[in-house]
């Protein structure tokens, strides 16, 4: 078996990080000077004016999860638990029930993903035998004021691409019956930095 690469021992200056910090600051300063000189010459800054302009992401970028549906509007998910079993972060919780219209199949009564624990590995998508869960939304703005709002629920993930509703919190306020347990009615006041 080939020898595994050994971890290189850091020199004293490297272990103090001083040289690296100075190098980083010099790089930043270089960019600042370049931009100031460039602006004086009338050259535009090389920036993206977010959020009006969003950085394009690769076709294979793993964004927020969505749940797909069948032509009749039902979830494709049959609550087989393959995704939650494959998930290394154990952040998918599913509660299954039998579909009254179809005694063969089950469906998820609850399908939650705790996005604070998700590591965006995509194993859930790979494990799904029904193409019921995808990460092709390209949505990378996954944020909220509370931990509860970072739990993406079944219907939220179903409607994610419908009318572009990337903000879970806003969606939960419009659909409180689908909000995760503990969803806070009032946004805590933002305390400004002093």
* Positions in the binding site for ligand SF4 (CB under 6 A): 77-83, 86-89, 91-92, 94, 113, 118-124, 127-128, 130, 132-133
Q: Closest separation between CB of residue 25 and ligand SF4, Å?
A: 36
- Closer CB to ligand SF4, residue 124 or residue 151? 124
Cis peptide before 15 (omega within 30 of 0): no
Closest among 51, 67, 32 to 162, alpha carbons compared: 67
Q: Closest separation between CB of residue 112 and ligand SF4, Å?
A: 10
Q: Closest separation between CB of residue 173 and ligand SF4, Å?
A: 24
Q: Closest separation between CB of residue 162 and ligand SF4, Å?
A: 18
Residue 113, number of CB atoms within 10 A of its CB: 27
Closest among 182, 123, 178, 125 to 153, alpha carbons compared: 178
- Closer CB to ligand SF4, residue 77 or residue 139? 77
- Closer CB to ligand SF4, residue 16 or residue 95? 95
Separation of alpha carbons 126 and 119, rounded Å = 14
H helix or E strand, kind and range, residue 172: helix 168-174
- Closer CB to ligand SF4, residue 78 or residue 142? 78
């Amino acid at each position: 078996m080939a020898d595994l690469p050994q971890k290189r021992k850091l020199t004293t200056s490297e272990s103090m990080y001083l040289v690296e910090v100075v190098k980083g600051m010099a790089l930043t300063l270089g960019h600042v000077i370049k931009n100031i000189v460039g602006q004086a010459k009338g050259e535009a800054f090389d920036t993206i004016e977010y959020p009006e302009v969003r950085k394009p992401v690769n076709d294979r970028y793993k964004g927020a999860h969505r749940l797909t549906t069948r032509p009749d509007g039902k979830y494709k998910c049959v609550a087989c638990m393959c995704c939650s079993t494959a998930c290394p972060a154990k952040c998918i919780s599913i509660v299954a029930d039998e579909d009254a219209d179809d005694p063969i199949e089950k469906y998820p009564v609850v399908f939650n993903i705790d996005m604070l624990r998700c590591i965006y590995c995509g194993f859930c998508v790979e494990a799904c035998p029904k193409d019921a869960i995808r990460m092709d939304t390209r949505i990378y703005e996954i944020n909220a004021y509370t931990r509860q709002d970072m739990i993406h629920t079944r219907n939220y993930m179903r409607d994610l691409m419908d009318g572009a509703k990337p903000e879970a919190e806003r969606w939960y306020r419009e659909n409180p019956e689908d909000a995760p347990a503990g969803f806070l009615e009032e946004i805590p006041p933002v305390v400004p930095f002093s």
